[in-house]
Amino acid sequence: MQDTTIKNLVILGGGTAGWMTAALMSKVLGKVVNITLVESDQIGTVGVGEATIPPIVNFNQALGLDEKEFLKQTKGSIKLGIQFENWSRQGEHYMHAFGSIGKNFPFCDFHHFWLRNREQGGADSYWDYSLNYQAAMNNKFAPLANIPNTNLPGISYAYHFDAGLYARYLRRVAEGRGVKRIEGKVCDVRQNSDTGFIENLLLESGQVVEGDLFVDCSGFVGLLIEKAVGSEYESWQQWLPCDRAMAVPSCSPERIPPYTRSIAHACGWQWQIPLQHRTGNGLVYSSEHWSDEQAHEVLFGNLPGEALSEPRIIPFRTGHRREQWCKNVVSLGLASGFLEPLESTSIHLVQSAATRLVKCFPHRGIRQEEVAEFNRQSRVEMERIRDFIILHYKANQRRDSDFWRQCEDMSVPDSLREKMELFRSTGKVFRDYDDLFTEIAWQQVMIGQGILPQDHHVIADGLNEGQMKDLMGSLKTLIQGTVEQLPPHEAYLSHN
């Protein structure tokens, strides 16, 4: 009988996606599968992607990385959330702060109490009850599982890091665990004439790389998933109008804020990501509304420090592969789809797809049921994130450009429309199965973008005015007291 066991795994691409996949696969499957990674220095990597979300902490731990070493190697900093400026209206801002807000109640989220308190004349901002937000604004950080002497959740955090250095660091980790790296450019992909499965990759050097399963981390080009096995790309540009980014690093400021800034402009938005050695900047914009020259003017007019290089323009197509896994090719990273970096989800999508691949890893041959389940989970995950990102555009009250007016007028996916309507009328929001973002994330963005619910949960009426005042007052005091005790963010980085 023919042995169909998957023994040879080939990863094409040595960007963040390729090396994250190689590091995870070698850790979990290294004893049973031979892993080879092919990359071309001549082609290089996309070279952006510096902000992450909290699950990265678990990923690094699963790989066995030491946080201190990781921050040193990647010149990283701590991220407590994303500050959205000028998104709802010019001059206004809010934060999507990670972690919890207020206090967790079993049947009714804290924001219902906040809404009730507001009706009674309370003037506090929702973010007065966010430990992450208060720490971010005061430039403070320490890992904290709970607010001391309480069972209230502590700080939830992620990282900003230099993605190129992260890939290099993971390369050393993966090679140390037996991953074989081949430097070279793939010039031909050979497929079985009956099945269409890829059999091997031909490099310009003449070397042939055989494999049973191929992970396509070749970036936007999708060399295997698109060019070879032909998995279709579904565009989501009708909802996410930006299609270009201009990126440039600048000198690092004296203080390193522990949060990402996302600043909306007339026809796009700008990111600022503080690292130890520089600030990563970029402008995401719509080429229908802005030329590259206009984008350049806006970006360079709003840099937080002197530019360290010439800007790079990166065109992109928002959307995803209908089949992220097709035949014996699984695409990860930019080869599998792209959602703009507004909520820093791309590196997370690599992490979750690589984890999913481990869970669905084929044993004796590739089974269609496994492939279908992998693709279903991938699609649901992408669609939920897509909705969350569209929300930022749709729920805007800017009237200063056609771009923002068109975003407000556009029809959105039913899944998002229903969520917004439910929240607007009742204050309720539910995390769908497989939704990366929690209810608290959705609440913050909806409230921050100006969707103020017309009602609150009836449970919040259970507190009389005095009890409500006590609850709110004690939470605020606890949060303020905790923030005062935290060390400065820079102290945490330099201590590490």
Binding site for ligand FAD (CB under 6 A): 12-18, 38-40, 43-46, 48-52, 163, 185-186, 217-219, 221, 223, 245, 247, 282, 314, 316, 333-335, 341, 344, 346-347
CB of 35 to ligand FAD, least distance (A): 16
Q: In angstroms, rounded to a whole number, what is the distance separating the alpha carbons of residues 317 and 337?
A: 8
Nearer to ligand FAD, 183 or 484 (CB): 183
Shortest separation between residue 100's beta carbon and ligand FAD, angstroms:
23
**Minimum CB–partner distance for residue 55 and ligand FAD (Å):** 11
Write down the least CB distance from residue 198 to ligand FAD, Å.
13
SS (H, E, C) the chain: CCCCECCEEEEECCCHHHHHHHHHHHHHHCCCCEEEEEECCCCCCCCCCCECCCHHHHHHHHHCCCHHHHHHHHCCEEECEEEEECCCCCCCEEEEECCCCCCCCCCCCHHHHHHHHHHCCCCCCHHHHCHHHHHHHCCECCCCCECCCCCCECCCCEEECCHHHHHHHHHHHHHHCCCEEEECCEEEEEECCCCCCEEEEEECCCCEEECCEEEECCHHHCHHHHHHCCCCEEECCCCCCCCEEEEEEEECCCCCCCCEEEEEECCEEEEEEECCCEEEEEEEECCCCCCHHHHHHHHHHCCCCCECCCCEEEECCCEEECCCEECCEEECHHHHEECCHHHCCHHHHHHHHHHHHHHCCCCECCCHHHHHHHHHHHHHHHHHHHHHHHHHHHCCCCCCCHHHHHHHHCCCCHHHHHHHHHHHHHCCCCCCCCCCCCHHHHHHHHHHCCCCCCCCCHHHHHCCHHHHHHHHHHHHHHHHHHHHHCCEHHHHHHHC
* Least distance to ligand FAD, CB of residue 177, Å: 19
The residue (of 186 and 451) whose beta carbon lies closer to ligand FAD is 186
Shortest gap between Cβ of 292 and ligand FAD (angstroms)?
A: 14
Q: How deeply is 368 buried, as exposed, middle or buried, from its count of CB atoms within 10 A (0-12, 13-18, 19+)?
A: exposed
CA–CA gap between residue 493 and residue 491 (Å, rounded):
5
Q: Of 70 and 316, which has the nearer Cβ to ligand FAD?
A: 316
243 or 323: whose CB is closer to ligand FAD? Answer: 243
Q: Which is nearer to ligand FAD, 18 or 427 (CB)?
A: 18
Closest C-alpha to 27, from 178, 153, 146, 154: 178
Residue 217 has phi, psi (to 5 degrees) of -120, 40
Using the minimum distance from each CB to ligand FAD, give the nearer residue, 136 or 163.
163
Q: Which is nearer to ligand FAD, 198 or 223 (CB)?
A: 223
Indicate the residue among 110 and 236 with the shorter CB distance to ligand FAD: 236
Instruction: Compute the least distance from the CB of residue 487 to ligand FAD, in Å.
Output: 26
- What's the closest the beta carbon of residue 281 comes to ligand FAD, in angstroms? 11
Which of 27, 72, 75, 79 is flagged as catalytic? 79
* Complex with ligand FAD: residue 40 or 83, whichever CB lies closer: 40
- Give Cβ neighbours of residue 30 (< 8 Å, ≥ 6 apart): 177, 178, 179
For the question of residue 7 being annotated catalytic, the response is: no
Q: Which residues are catalytic?
A: 79
